Amino acid sequence: MLEGRADLAVHSLKDVPAELEPGFALPAILPRADAADAFVSNQHADLAALPLGAKVGTSSLRRQAQLRALRPDLELLDLRGNVGTRLAKLDAGHYDAIVLACAGLERLGLAGRIRSRLAAPDWLPAPGQAAIAVEARADQPATLALLAVLDDADTRLEVSAERAMNQTLGGSCTVPVGAWCTVTERGLHLRGLVGDAASGRLLHAQADGVDAVVLGHAVAQALFAQGAADFLGG
Protein backbone atom coordinates (compact mmCIF):
# COMPACT_ATOMS: atom_id res chain seq x y z
CA MET A 1 0.00 0.00 0.00
CA LEU A 2 2.88 2.38 0.70
CA GLU A 3 4.03 1.91 -2.90
CA GLY A 4 0.53 2.58 -4.22
CA ARG A 5 0.12 -0.90 -5.66
CA ALA A 6 -2.84 -1.72 -3.39
CA ASP A 7 -5.60 0.39 -1.87
CA LEU A 8 -6.45 -1.93 1.00
CA ALA A 9 -5.49 -5.14 2.79
CA VAL A 10 -7.73 -7.69 4.48
CA HIS A 11 -6.47 -9.29 7.69
CA SER A 12 -7.45 -11.67 10.42
CA LEU A 13 -7.57 -9.09 13.22
CA LYS A 14 -5.89 -11.32 15.79
CA ASP A 15 -2.75 -11.20 13.63
CA VAL A 16 -2.73 -7.39 13.33
CA PRO A 17 -0.36 -5.67 15.80
CA ALA A 18 -2.14 -3.84 18.61
CA GLU A 19 -0.46 -0.64 17.41
CA LEU A 20 -0.64 0.05 13.68
CA GLU A 21 2.23 1.47 11.68
CA PRO A 22 1.96 5.26 11.31
CA GLY A 23 -0.12 6.30 8.32
CA PHE A 24 -2.47 3.31 8.37
CA ALA A 25 -6.00 2.82 9.69
CA LEU A 26 -8.62 0.10 10.10
CA PRO A 27 -11.74 1.73 8.63
CA ALA A 28 -13.76 -1.48 8.65
CA ILE A 29 -14.05 -4.36 11.08
CA LEU A 30 -16.59 -6.87 9.85
CA PRO A 31 -19.18 -8.65 12.03
CA ARG A 32 -17.38 -11.21 14.12
CA ALA A 33 -17.70 -14.90 13.36
CA ASP A 34 -17.60 -17.65 16.00
CA ALA A 35 -14.66 -16.72 18.24
CA ALA A 36 -14.50 -20.08 20.01
CA ASP A 37 -11.70 -22.57 19.57
CA ALA A 38 -12.52 -25.93 18.05
CA PHE A 39 -11.76 -29.31 19.58
CA VAL A 40 -11.08 -31.56 16.59
CA SER A 41 -10.73 -35.32 16.93
CA ASN A 42 -11.63 -38.41 14.94
CA GLN A 43 -12.28 -40.58 17.99
CA HIS A 44 -13.21 -38.37 20.94
CA ALA A 45 -16.21 -36.08 21.37
CA ASP A 46 -14.67 -33.44 23.59
CA LEU A 47 -11.75 -32.56 25.84
CA ALA A 48 -13.15 -34.47 28.80
CA ALA A 49 -13.44 -37.65 26.71
CA LEU A 50 -9.72 -37.85 25.95
CA PRO A 51 -7.91 -40.70 27.73
CA LEU A 52 -5.15 -40.01 30.21
CA GLY A 53 -1.95 -38.91 28.50
CA ALA A 54 -3.62 -38.28 25.15
CA LYS A 55 -1.62 -36.37 22.54
CA VAL A 56 -3.04 -32.97 21.64
CA GLY A 57 -1.59 -30.73 18.95
CA THR A 58 -1.35 -26.96 19.22
CA SER A 59 1.45 -24.43 18.97
CA SER A 60 -0.51 -21.62 20.64
CA LEU A 61 0.81 -20.77 24.11
CA ARG A 62 -2.65 -19.45 25.03
CA ARG A 63 -4.27 -22.76 24.12
CA GLN A 64 -1.50 -24.76 25.80
CA ALA A 65 -1.93 -22.84 29.06
CA GLN A 66 -5.68 -23.43 29.13
CA LEU A 67 -5.32 -27.09 28.16
CA ARG A 68 -2.83 -27.66 30.98
CA ALA A 69 -5.14 -25.95 33.45
CA LEU A 70 -8.06 -28.20 32.46
CA ARG A 71 -6.16 -31.43 31.71
CA PRO A 72 -2.62 -31.45 33.15
CA ASP A 73 -2.23 -35.11 32.15
CA LEU A 74 -2.28 -34.41 28.41
CA GLU A 75 0.82 -34.54 26.22
CA LEU A 76 0.87 -31.27 24.30
CA LEU A 77 2.71 -31.43 20.99
CA ASP A 78 3.76 -28.81 18.47
CA LEU A 79 1.42 -28.40 15.50
CA ARG A 80 2.23 -26.17 12.54
CA GLY A 81 1.19 -25.66 8.94
CA ASN A 82 -2.02 -24.49 7.31
CA VAL A 83 -5.39 -25.90 8.32
CA GLY A 84 -5.26 -28.66 5.72
CA THR A 85 -1.81 -29.75 6.84
CA ARG A 86 -2.86 -29.80 10.48
CA LEU A 87 -5.95 -31.88 9.76
CA ALA A 88 -3.87 -34.29 7.67
CA LYS A 89 -1.49 -34.81 10.60
CA LEU A 90 -4.45 -35.58 12.85
CA ASP A 91 -5.88 -38.00 10.29
CA ALA A 92 -2.48 -39.70 9.99
CA GLY A 93 -2.64 -40.55 13.69
CA HIS A 94 0.04 -38.19 14.98
CA TYR A 95 -2.42 -36.74 17.51
CA ASP A 96 -5.50 -37.83 19.40
CA ALA A 97 -6.92 -34.32 18.99
CA ILE A 98 -5.94 -30.87 17.82
CA VAL A 99 -7.23 -27.40 18.65
CA LEU A 100 -7.99 -24.92 15.86
CA ALA A 101 -10.16 -21.81 15.47
CA CYS A 102 -13.84 -22.43 14.76
CA ALA A 103 -13.98 -19.44 12.42
CA GLY A 104 -11.11 -20.71 10.30
CA LEU A 105 -12.72 -24.10 9.83
CA GLU A 106 -16.11 -22.58 9.08
CA ARG A 107 -14.70 -20.20 6.48
CA LEU A 108 -13.06 -23.14 4.71
CA GLY A 109 -16.29 -25.15 4.69
CA LEU A 110 -14.89 -27.56 7.29
CA ALA A 111 -17.31 -26.94 10.15
CA GLY A 112 -18.09 -30.67 10.12
CA ARG A 113 -14.64 -31.33 11.63
CA ILE A 114 -15.58 -29.48 14.82
CA ARG A 115 -16.42 -32.03 17.53
CA SER A 116 -16.98 -29.48 20.29
CA ARG A 117 -16.42 -25.80 21.02
CA LEU A 118 -14.02 -24.39 23.59
CA ALA A 119 -15.70 -21.10 24.44
CA ALA A 120 -16.12 -18.29 26.97
CA PRO A 121 -16.52 -17.98 29.86
CA ASP A 122 -14.59 -21.19 30.58
CA TRP A 123 -12.11 -20.77 27.71
CA LEU A 124 -10.95 -17.46 26.24
CA PRO A 125 -9.96 -16.80 22.61
CA ALA A 126 -7.12 -14.63 21.41
CA PRO A 127 -7.77 -10.87 21.36
CA GLY A 128 -9.66 -10.08 18.16
CA GLN A 129 -10.11 -13.74 17.21
CA ALA A 130 -12.68 -14.40 14.43
CA ALA A 131 -12.85 -10.75 13.36
CA ILE A 132 -11.81 -9.62 9.88
CA ALA A 133 -10.32 -6.14 9.53
CA VAL A 134 -9.73 -4.04 6.44
CA GLU A 135 -6.64 -1.84 6.51
CA ALA A 136 -6.10 1.24 4.37
CA ARG A 137 -3.87 4.30 4.20
CA ALA A 138 -4.99 7.02 6.58
CA ASP A 139 -4.39 9.71 3.93
CA GLN A 140 -6.98 8.29 1.54
CA PRO A 141 -10.31 9.75 2.77
CA ALA A 142 -12.35 8.47 -0.17
CA THR A 143 -11.19 4.90 0.44
CA LEU A 144 -11.78 5.21 4.17
CA ALA A 145 -15.32 6.48 3.63
CA LEU A 146 -16.08 3.71 1.16
CA LEU A 147 -14.93 1.02 3.59
CA ALA A 148 -16.60 2.56 6.64
CA VAL A 149 -20.02 1.32 5.53
CA LEU A 150 -18.77 -2.24 6.16
CA ASP A 151 -17.86 -1.51 9.77
CA ASP A 152 -19.77 -3.33 12.53
CA ALA A 153 -20.08 -1.04 15.56
CA ASP A 154 -20.48 -3.75 18.21
CA THR A 155 -17.58 -5.82 16.91
CA ARG A 156 -15.36 -2.74 16.80
CA LEU A 157 -16.15 -1.93 20.43
CA GLU A 158 -15.51 -5.51 21.56
CA VAL A 159 -12.22 -6.00 19.76
CA SER A 160 -11.03 -2.51 20.69
CA ALA A 161 -11.31 -3.43 24.37
CA GLU A 162 -9.54 -6.75 23.80
CA ARG A 163 -6.75 -5.17 21.77
CA ALA A 164 -6.30 -2.35 24.32
CA MET A 165 -5.87 -4.96 27.03
CA ASN A 166 -3.35 -6.85 24.93
CA GLN A 167 -1.44 -3.69 24.06
CA THR A 168 -1.24 -2.64 27.72
CA LEU A 169 0.12 -6.09 28.56
CA GLY A 170 2.71 -5.68 25.83
CA GLY A 171 1.36 -8.79 24.14
CA SER A 172 1.17 -10.00 20.58
CA CYS A 173 -0.54 -12.88 18.83
CA THR A 174 2.19 -15.22 20.16
CA VAL A 175 1.88 -14.66 23.92
CA PRO A 176 -0.43 -16.58 26.31
CA VAL A 177 -3.13 -13.90 26.49
CA GLY A 178 -6.86 -14.48 26.11
CA ALA A 179 -9.64 -11.90 25.94
CA TRP A 180 -13.38 -11.87 25.38
CA CYS A 181 -15.51 -8.73 25.35
CA THR A 182 -19.27 -8.52 24.88
CA VAL A 183 -21.67 -5.62 24.47
CA THR A 184 -24.15 -5.53 27.37
CA GLU A 185 -27.05 -3.32 28.43
CA ARG A 186 -24.63 -1.42 30.67
CA GLY A 187 -21.89 -1.03 28.08
CA LEU A 188 -19.09 -3.56 27.73
CA HIS A 189 -17.96 -6.56 29.74
CA LEU A 190 -14.37 -7.73 29.27
CA ARG A 191 -12.77 -10.92 30.54
CA GLY A 192 -9.01 -11.26 30.36
CA LEU A 193 -6.56 -14.09 30.91
CA VAL A 194 -2.82 -14.51 31.09
CA GLY A 195 -1.44 -18.03 31.37
CA ASP A 196 1.74 -20.01 31.78
CA ALA A 197 1.93 -22.74 29.14
CA ALA A 198 4.44 -24.79 31.16
CA SER A 199 2.50 -25.00 34.43
CA GLY A 200 -1.08 -24.34 33.38
CA ARG A 201 -1.40 -21.55 35.91
CA LEU A 202 -3.98 -18.98 34.78
CA LEU A 203 -4.64 -15.44 35.93
CA HIS A 204 -8.14 -14.06 35.36
CA ALA A 205 -9.64 -10.58 35.56
CA GLN A 206 -12.88 -9.01 34.37
CA ALA A 207 -14.61 -5.64 34.49
CA ASP A 208 -17.44 -3.58 33.04
CA GLY A 209 -17.13 -0.19 31.36
CA VAL A 210 -18.33 2.10 28.61
CA ASP A 211 -15.01 3.16 27.08
CA ALA A 212 -13.34 0.24 25.30
CA VAL A 213 -9.76 1.48 25.65
CA VAL A 214 -10.14 2.46 29.31
CA LEU A 215 -11.75 -0.91 30.04
CA GLY A 216 -8.97 -2.83 28.31
CA HIS A 217 -6.36 -0.91 30.25
CA ALA A 218 -8.17 -1.59 33.56
CA VAL A 219 -8.36 -5.33 33.00
CA ALA A 220 -4.70 -5.44 32.01
CA GLN A 221 -3.73 -3.58 35.17
CA ALA A 222 -5.76 -6.06 37.23
CA LEU A 223 -3.80 -8.88 35.61
CA PHE A 224 -0.50 -7.11 36.27
CA ALA A 225 -1.53 -6.79 39.92
CA GLN A 226 -1.76 -10.60 40.05
CA GLY A 227 1.72 -11.08 38.58
CA ALA A 228 1.05 -11.23 34.84
CA ALA A 229 4.47 -9.76 34.08
CA ASP A 230 6.04 -13.03 35.24
CA PHE A 231 4.21 -14.86 32.43
CA LEU A 232 4.93 -12.24 29.79
CA GLY A 233 8.66 -11.97 30.23
CA GLY A 234 8.32 -8.67 32.06
Catalytic residues: 15
Task: Cite the DSSP H helix spans in 71-186.
Answer: 83-91, 102-107, 141-148, 153-169
Integer Cα distance of 123 and 112 in angstroms:
21
Tell me the three state secondary structure of residue 66.
helix
Task: Cite the DSSP H helix spans in the chain.
Answer: 61-70, 83-91, 102-107, 141-148, 153-169, 212-225
Residue type, 45: A
- Phi and psi at residue 160, in whole multiples of 5°? -65, -40
Q: Decide: 213 and 161 in contact? Cβ < 8 Å.
A: yes
Residue among 160, 187, 166, 197 nearest 66 (CA): 197
